[in-house]
A and B are shown apart, each in its own frame.
Chain A
Amino acid sequence: MYKYDEYDHAMVEARVAEFSDQVRRRLAGEITEDQFKPLRLMNGLYLQLHAYMLRVAVPYGTLDSRQMRMLAHIARKYDRDYGHFTTRQNIQYNWIKLEDAPAILEELASVEMHAIQTSGNCIRNISSDQWAGAAADEITDPRPWAELLRQWSSFHPEFSYLPRKFKIAVIAADEDRAAMRLHDIGIQIVEKDGVHGAAFYVGGGMGRTPMIAPLIKDFVPLEDMLSYAEACLRVYNRYGRRDNIYKARIKILIHELGADEYRRQVEEEWAHVKSLGIDPPNAEFDRIAAQFAPPALDASAPDEIDRSDPDFAVWLDQNVAAHKVPGHAIVNISLKPVGGIPGDASSAQIDLMADLAEKYSHDELRVTHAQNIVLPHVRKADLYTIWQALDAAGLATPNLDLISDIIACPGLDYCSLANARSIPVAQKIATRFSDLDRQKELGELKLKISGCINACGHHHAGHIGILGVDRKGTENYQLLLGGSGAEDVSLGTITGPGFDEDGIVDAIERVTDKYLAERTEGERFVDTFRRVGMAPFKEAIYG
C-alpha cells in the first residue's frame, strides 16, 4: 500500500490547519454561509437533511486495518456509531457536528486519510477495481497508476475549478468491476505487442444525461499517461460549459463536439503538454509501484476447502472469488443483509473487518463501488474461520451479485438533493426476494436504486434500475431494464409509467417472473432482456 511521503503529510496537515481556522471563523460569525460553503465542500463537508455529512476519501478503495479502525473510531466518537460506504468507494458519516470537523480531519490525517476533493468541481477520488492486485484476470495492478493520478490531481491548480466535478477510474482487466466507461475518464491498462499502455475512454457518466464513454485513444504509452490526461482535462476546462450546470460535464462537451473532434483537439493539446515535462521520471513511478508490491503469498498453501458446513459452502460459492495465487482467495463481504441498509456498517462491524484484514488478508481491505468490502488476499485454509467471524457479526450474507445485493443511494432519508427514498425500496425488494434459493435461481442480477436524477445509485447501469422521482409531492418510482456498468456496458431503458413504493416491488417480481419464463440455458437476466427486448417485459408489467 502507498505510504505518504513528506509532501503528502505536509499537504494534508496544512489543509487541516487551514480548514480548522475557516471553521473557527464560521462559528464566530466572521464569515457567512455563502462564503463558507465552498470552503467546507472542498473538505468533503456537506449539509444534508439532518446534519452535516462528511465524505472521507478512500483512494482507489484501498485501505489498511489501521485506517479502517480509524473509520470505526470516527463513527463511534463523532457520529452515531455507523458509517455508509458509497458507490465511489468512499465512506460518509451522516451526523457530523461542524465544531468536530477539524478534529476529525486531524485524526484522519494521523492515518494518512483526508476528505479533500470529495466534493466540488475538481477531480474526485480516483476509483479502481476492488480486486486489484488479486484478480486472476488483470494484466497488472492498476493502483500504482491510480495513485499517480491521485498525486497529479491533488490540488492541481489548473483543475481545482473545473466546469463540473470530474471522476476517473482505472482498471487493468477486461472484466470491468469499476463501471469504468461510466466515468468522465475511464482508463484501462491494456497490452499491445507485449507492452502495457492506457486506453482512454472519455465522456461517460450517469446523472441527468447518461452516456457511455467513447474510446478516445486506444493506446497511450504509460509513461505519457499523465500528460494525455492533462490534455483531456485542458480541452474540457477550456470549452466545457460553465453557463449551465446541467450541460457542464465533459460528456456533454464530447457529445456536442463529437468524439473525433474532441480527439483531434486533445491530440493537438497533448503535443504541447508533452513538451512541458509533467510526466514523471521512471524512478518516481517505480517508487510508487514498489509500494504496491504483491504481498508474500505462499503458492504452495493448501487449495482444498472443507465444505462440510452447508451454510459455509453457500457463502463460499457466492461471495468468494478466485485469487491469482493458488491456495488463496478473495473474500467479498456483503453489506447487504436482508432488510438492512445497503452500504451501512456499525463501528463494531468496521472494527471486525479491520481485525480480519490484519490477521488474514495481509492488512488490506477494499471498498467496492457496489458498497461492499473485500479482503483481497486470504488463504483458503482461513476461509472457514473468517466466515464464522463474519457470520457472528451479521456480515456473511451470501448474496454477492444477486438481486438482494442492491446498490442504493442514501435517498430522501438523508440527502438534500433526493426526491424519493431509496433505502426503504431496497429493503422491501430484498425482503420480498429473501429466499436464497429463489435469488440463486435468478442468478446474477444487479439492481440499483437512485433517489433522484443525479444517479448516485447508478440506476442507469442496473440490470434492473429504479429512479425515485417527486410526483406532486409524492414519491414515485420509475423502472429501467437492461443497463450494465460492466464490460458489457449499456444504459437501462424506462419501462413506462412509474409506481408507488409497493407497486415497484410488485413490478420487479413480474419482471423477474417473466425472465424465468423467457430465459434460455445460461442466460442472465440482462442477456434475456437484450435478446427478447422490452415488449414482453412491458406486457408482463402493465398488462
Chain B
Amino acid sequence: MKLLTGNDLKTGFVTWWTGSDWSLHIEDAADVGEHGEAILAAEEGARRVNAPYIIAGEQTPEGPRPAHIKDRIRALGPTVRPDLTLKPADPAAGDWVI
C-alpha cells in the first residue's frame, strides 16, 4: 500500500492522509494507491502540511505499517521516550517500530 504523510504546518506534528483529511494517527491512514501524486499536489497547494511525501507500507491487523523504520518512528514517536509517543500507556508500542 501507499501512504501519504507530512508534518502539520502549525505544530510540525506528523500527519497522515485519511482519504479526505489529515490525522495524527496512522491507524486512520488510507491507501492512496496511484492517486498519491495528485493528492500531494493538491494538498501542497492548500498549504496545511509541510513537505508531504508518499511512502510504502503494508496493511496489518493492527492497521497500516510503514515499510521503513524512519516512518514507523515518525508514526509513533521517539523509541527512547515512550512517555512522549502517541501511545504512552502501551509499554509494548515500541515493538511495532522495531
Residues of A within 8 A of B (CB): 26-27, 29, 32-33, 47-52, 80, 95-99, 341, 412-414, 418, 421, 423-424, 427, 473-475
Contact = CB atoms under 8 A, between A and B. Distances in A.
Contact of B73 (A32, A33, A52, A412): A412
A534 B47 CA distance: 54
Given A32-B47, A473-B67, A50 B10 contact: no
Nearest to A414: B78
B12 interface: yes
Q: Report the contact-size class of chain B (Cβ under 8 Å from the partner).
A: 20 to 34
Contact of A99 (B10, B81, B84): B10
B80 A50 contact: no
Interface of B: 7, 9-14, 47, 50-51, 67-70, 73-74, 77-81, 84
Given A413-B73, A413-B80, A52 B12 contact: yes
Contact of A473 (B10, B68, B78): B68
B12 A98 contact: yes
Contacts of A341: 80-81
Given A80-B84, A99-B10, A473-B68, A50 B47 contact: no
A25 to B, nearest CB: 11
Contacts of B70: 49, 412, 418
A227 to B, nearest CB: 42
Majority secondary structure, A binding face: mixed
Given A49-B73, A475-B69, A413 B79 contact: yes
A413 B68 CA distance: 13
A50 B14 contact: yes
Nearest to A97: B11
B98 to A, nearest CB: 9
A50 B9 contact: no
Given A98-B12, A423-B80, A47 B51 contact: yes
Given A27-B9, A47-B7, 5 more contacts: A51-B11, A52-B12, A96-B12, A418-B70, A473-B67
A79 to B, nearest CB: 10
B51 A33 contact: yes
A33 B14 contact: no
Contacts of A47: 7, 12, 50-51
Contacts of B12: 47-48, 50-52, 96-98
Contacts of B9: 26-27, 33, 98
B86 to A, nearest CB: 10
A335 to B, nearest CB: 14
A104 to B, nearest CB: 13
Nearest to A31: B47
